[in-house]
């Protein structure tokens, strides 16, 4: 099950894809070779390899994951981030430190630098014994969100709209809401899609994690979340991270 285009919600604040589906993570029993949503491992290229590199240093970016693009055709959005120390790129939408590629038939963002033929880089990792960095690969299971949790997520999104100046007034829900999902309306830590204009369609979001032993991978957005977006024609992607 994947989300599908709604055809009626432009901009980074609306529900461009429905339904909202919760992401959960399942360890891949073997290297994934199929065009499915996942975190880590190696990208499953549909148009041929195109590994992005840092535009100033030429260092390959880290492959974070690939995500099914909503619609009937099998297409993937691949996310790559620059990692410096324990910090991840993505705070500026078009500086080349966060690149989303769409295949097949997608457009390479104008600010992205693609490495030469054969370029590869690091993949997503987690902490192992003695603070070693262990590469990981997790399949993403998409499941319907229980009604009460989805209601809380919608209320949180409505409260965010109110803070941005919309009416009516809506308080944040007392209940917790899901933090890893595709589709539906986004829930931004600071209410705004910084650096993302109204032409971009919200695709999904996921929390950072990695300090706890049981965490599936390490991503540092300053105790915040990462957000994926698609262009109106679904041929190009953007990424934004924001701390809480």
Interval 62-107: pLDDT, tens:
999 999 999 999 999 999 999 987 777 777 778 899 999 999 999 9
E runs forming strands in 159-199: 181-182
Cβ-Cβ contacts under 8 Å for 227 (sequence gap 6 or more): 12, 186, 188, 193, 196, 202, 204, 205, 239, 240, 241, 242
> Rounded to whole angstroms, how far apart are CA atoms 55 and 95?
8
pLDDT in tens, 188-206: 999 899 999 999 999 999 9
- State whether residue 103 is helix, strand or coil: strand
Is the Cα torsion angle 108, 109, 110, 114 positive or negative in sign? negative
pTM of structure: 0.95
Per-residue pLDDT at 207: 95
Per-residue pLDDT at 17: 96
Let me know if 167 is exposed, middle or buried by CB neighbors in 10 A (0-12, 13-18, 19+): exposed
pLDDT in tens, 153-177: 999 988 988 888 888 888 988 888 9
Per-residue pLDDT at 84: 86
pLDDT in tens, 96-148: 999 999 999 999 999 999 999 999 999 999 998 888 999 999 999 999 999 99
pLDDT in tens, 26-71: 999 999 999 999 999 999 999 999 999 999 999 999 999 999 999 9
């Amino acid at each position: 099950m994947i989300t599908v285009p709604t055809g009626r919600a432009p901009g980074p604040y609306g529900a461009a894809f429905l339904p909202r589906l919760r992401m959960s993570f399942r360890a891949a029993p073997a290297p994934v070779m199929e065009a499915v949503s996942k975190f880590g491992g190696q990208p499953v290229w549909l148009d041929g390899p195109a590994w992005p590199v840092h535009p100033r240093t030429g260092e390959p970016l880290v492959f974070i994951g690939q995500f099914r693009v909503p619609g009937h055709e099998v297409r993937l959005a691949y996310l790559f981030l620059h990692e410096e120390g324990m910090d991840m790129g993505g705070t500026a939408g078009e500086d080349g430190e966060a690149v989303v590629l769409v295949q097949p038939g997608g457009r390479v963002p104008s600010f992205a630098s693609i490495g030469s033929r054969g370029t590869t880089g690091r993949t997503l990792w987690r902490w192992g014994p003695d603070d070693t960095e262990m590469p990981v690969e997790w399949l993403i299971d998409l499941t319907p969100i229980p009604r009460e949790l989805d209601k809380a997520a919608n209320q949180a999104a409505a409260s965010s709209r109110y803070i941005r100046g919309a009416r009516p007034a809506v308080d944040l829900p007392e209940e917790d809401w899901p933090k890893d999902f595709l589709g539906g309306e986004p829930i931004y830590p600071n209410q705004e899609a910084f650096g993302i204009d109204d032409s971009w369609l919200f695709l999904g979001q996921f929390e950072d994690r990695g300090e706890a032993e049981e965490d599936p991978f390490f991503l540092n957005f300053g105790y915040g979340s990462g957000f994926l977006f698609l262009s109106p024609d679904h041929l190009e992607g953007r990424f934004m991270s924001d701390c809480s």
